[in-house]
Amino acid sequence: MPEIPDLNIFSSNLSRRLVGKTLASIHIPISRQLKVSENVIQEALEGQPLTAINRIGKELHFLFGNGHVLSIHLMLHGTMYWYENENTSRFTIAELLFADGTGLAVTDWQKAVILTLDPKPNGVPDAMDLPAGYLKTALAKLSKPIKTVLTDGKTVQGIGNAYVDEILYAAKISPFSKANKIPEAHIEVLTQAIKNVLTDAENHIRGNFPDTITEKERDFLQVHRPKQTLTLKGEVILKAELDKRKTYYTESQQLFE
């Protein structure tokens, strides 16, 4: 699943190529995830200039000149591809064709990508913009495992399965720790780890794949390494399942319960 580091790069690369262009047509051949009809989306967006593309949590928001917004949530396996005039990509969920012939195809073999017209804000702070002291107050009210809290989107936006493992590894906190049992000092470390891990990952991906709009390798990750048995530092990777999510961690991560 693309997470904050990937989506920040996608957003900037899509913006560089598309912002300022007029959307000539949008076609959504797989419409089962839509909350409104394809016709409603076409009437709202076609003929409008694209004014900005922003990342909101795990979504990309395409802002148009008339104020309408198209949100794209790539889910687990959604992928985007460029095309010129004619889209030949398989498993296409949506295709956006701009007036100059530039096209963007959104595909997903699982057909799970979610497109939303004019999504409503949910008020949950983004992982990269947490208010001072926010986690201390929020975690005190929650007894669920900290991994669940950080990934369910109800407390923090934008963190998914891979990077939550990386963040908790960096903070030396077990993913099974109860959120309201984590000491204040460790919450401060966790808050800093969120920003550091996501920033470092974005810098790595941008440095190696500066023009990408598709998810790339994650061999640089420290502990979320499904095909490996050791971290990059040589620690044994422990594997478990938490709330149906594959979880990777080490014995060095402290359990608070």
pLDDT of residue 12: 97
* C-alpha distance across the termini of the chain, in Å: 29
Residue at 122 is within a domain = no
User: What does the alpha-carbon distance between residue 56 and residue 50 come to, in Å, rounded to a whole number?
Assistant: 17
pLDDT, residue 217, reads 78
Q: Residue 138 contacts by C-beta under 8 Å, 6 or more apart in sequence?
A: 155
Output the DSSP codes for the chain. ---HHHHHHHHHHHHHHHTT-BEEEEE-S--TT-SS-HHHHHHHHTTPBEEEEEEETTEEEEEETTS-EEEEE-TTT-EEEEEESS---TTEEEEEEETTSEEEEEE-TT---EEEESPPP--PPBGGGPPTTHHHHHHTT--SBHHHHHHSSSSSBS--HHHHHHHHHHHTB-TTSBGGGS-HHHHHHHHHHHHHHHHHHHHHHHHH-TT--S----TT-SS--TT-SB-TTSPBPEEEEETTEEEEE-TTSBP--
Q: Among 91, 117, 143, which residue terminates a domain?
A: 117
User: Residue 253's pLDDT band (boundaries 50, 70, 90)?
Assistant: very high
Write down the pLDDT at residue 215: 83
Question: Do residue 107 and residue 153 come from a single domain?
Answer: no
Q: Are strands 238-242 and 245-249 parallel, antiparallel or unpaired?
A: antiparallel
- pLDDT score recorded for residue 130: 95
The reply to whether 59 and 104 lie within a common domain is yes
Q: What angle do CA 107, 207, 105 make, to 5 degrees?
A: 15
Closest CA to 18 of 51, 66, 40: 51
Q: What is the pLDDT of residue 204?
A: 95
Q: Which amino acid is at 158?
A: G
Mark whether 109 and 131 lie in a shared domain.
no
The total domain count for the chain is: 2
| Rounded mean pLDDT, 250-257 | 97
pLDDT (0 to 100) of residue 1? 83
207 shares a domain with 132: yes
- Structural domain ending residue among the three candidates 77, 95, 117: 117
Q: Judge whether 142 and 149 are in contact, CB under 8 Å.
A: yes
Can you give the residue range of the structural domain that contains 235?
127-249
At 46-77, the pLDDT tens digits run 999 999 999 999 999 999 999 999 999 999 99
Q: Domain check: are 159 and 238 in the same one?
A: yes
Instruction: Tell me the whole-structure pTM to 2 decimals.
Output: 0.93
pLDDT at 181: 98
Report the CATH number at residue 59.
3.20.190.10
pLDDT in tens, 157-207: 999 999 999 999 999 999 999 999 999 999 999 999 999 999 999 999 999
Domain CATH number, residue 149: 1.10.8.50
Q: Which residues contact 26 (CB under 8 A, 6 or more apart)?
A: 38, 41, 42, 45, 46, 70, 94, 95, 96, 97
- Do residue 149 and residue 87 come from a single domain? no
Question: Domain for residue 8, yes or no?
Answer: yes
Q: What is the pLDDT of residue 32?
A: 87
pLDDT digits (tens, 9 = 90+) for 3-51: 999 999 999 999 999 999 999 999 999 998 999 999 999 999 999 999 9
Question: What pLDDT, on a 0 to 100 scale, did the predictor assign at position 156?
Answer: 97
What residues contact residue 66 under an 8 Å CB cut-off, 6+ apart? 44, 48
For residue 214, the model assigns a pLDDT of: 93
Q: Is pLDDT above 90 for 244?
A: no
- Could you report the per-residue pLDDT of 113-145, keeping only the tens digit for each? 999 999 999 899 999 999 999 999 999 999 999
| Residues 107 and 78: beta-carbon distance below 8 Å | yes
Quick check: is 256 in a domain? no
- Quick one: 135 and 67 in the same domain? no
The CA distance from 62 to 78, in Å, is: 16
Same domain, 137 and 180: yes
Whether the CB-CB separation of 120 and 44 falls below 8 Å is answered with no
Q: Show which of 66, 89, 117 is a domain's final residue.
A: 117
Residues 101, 146 within the same domain: no
